[in-house]
Amino acid sequence: MNSLQLIDLHFQDTPGVIATYVFDTGDGLAVVDPGPGSTLGALEEGLARLGAAVSDLRHVLLTHIHFDHAGAAGTLLARVPRARAYVHERGAPHLARPERLLASATQIYGDQMKALWGDMQPIDADRLTPLGEDHTLRLGQWEARALATPGHAVHHVAFHVGDALFVGDVAGIRLDQRQTPRAPTPPPDIALEDWRRSVDLLRGLDARTLHLAHFGAYDQSGAHWDGLLRTMEQDAARVRLGLERGQHPEEISEEFTAILLEELAAEGADLPARYAFACPPWMSVQGLLRYWQRHAARAGRGEA
């Protein structure tokens, strides 16, 4: 395998939802965001189609530690003793001791936890490379620049490798060319101010292609970033308006979902159902509700 490859992980037997990216470093394979434990079989099958195997992996690059991106990392490292994982310094302790992550997620997903995400094994701390604000890695013949890009998560990073920019969730959800990018805003630590700064940083990089986890590759263009910021501000404003009106969270979520799906339908008849599966609107509402409540609390304390 001589070039960057996308592997569709067919999350819940559905194509076009979660992508992982694999490339040859000359020192084994690198995989960016290997996905959840529940799709490990699809990752293995994808590698086999490329003439490779899990045992060829040496570098596991994690944009952040959410289950849909990093859930399989511990299992992969357990199977490949020579592999290492690279993750933001604030995410590393949670991968070494994932009990709190698992407990928190179980409160949300309940008895669906196993079916959705599979197993998440701990990673020995000495096999984790914690990443700071701007960290350059040597991966075989490649130099990879890891840049802290908070907003979606405090522990989010993007990886700039050659002409490629692996953006995790900070460049939004975009299921095909027709769709305007939209920000996934689940709890607990959405920060719109940080997200705007991350966009400013990334759009100025000398990269040709954005590689999104959800889903696929797109030109690094002003149009992509402008669309993301526009829809992010619209979504945040809708939730804030609901709070100002004193609406119940369920009512805010219902109205938000109806408007979102209507806007997506205008871009493609198949997009509402696909998007609602890839990024459930109620989760984005929950994150924005938490953001505005924290914003109001800071304002009440006289903080900037």
Domain ranges of the chain: 5-229, 235-300
Q: What is the CA radius of gyration of the chain?
A: 19
Closest CA to 84 of 168, 140, 5, 147: 140
* pLDDT tens column, 61-73: 999 999 999 999 9
- Specify the pLDDT at position 257: 98
Closest CA to 234 of 256, 262, 251, 214: 256
CATH superfamily of 5-229: Ribonuclease Z/Hydroxyacylglutathione hydrolase-like (3.60.15.10)
Tokens 């994932």 identify what position?
98
Average pLDDT in the 142-155 region?
Answer: 97
Confidence of residue 303 (pLDDT cuts 50, 70, 90): low
* pLDDT tens column, 168-219: 999 999 999 999 999 999 998 899 999 999 999 999 999 999 999 999 999 9
pLDDT of 167 over the 80 cut: yes
CA distances to 4, 47, 50, 52, 282 from 1, rounded to whole Å, are 8, 10, 6, 8, 40
Q: What is the pTM for the complete model shown?
A: 0.94
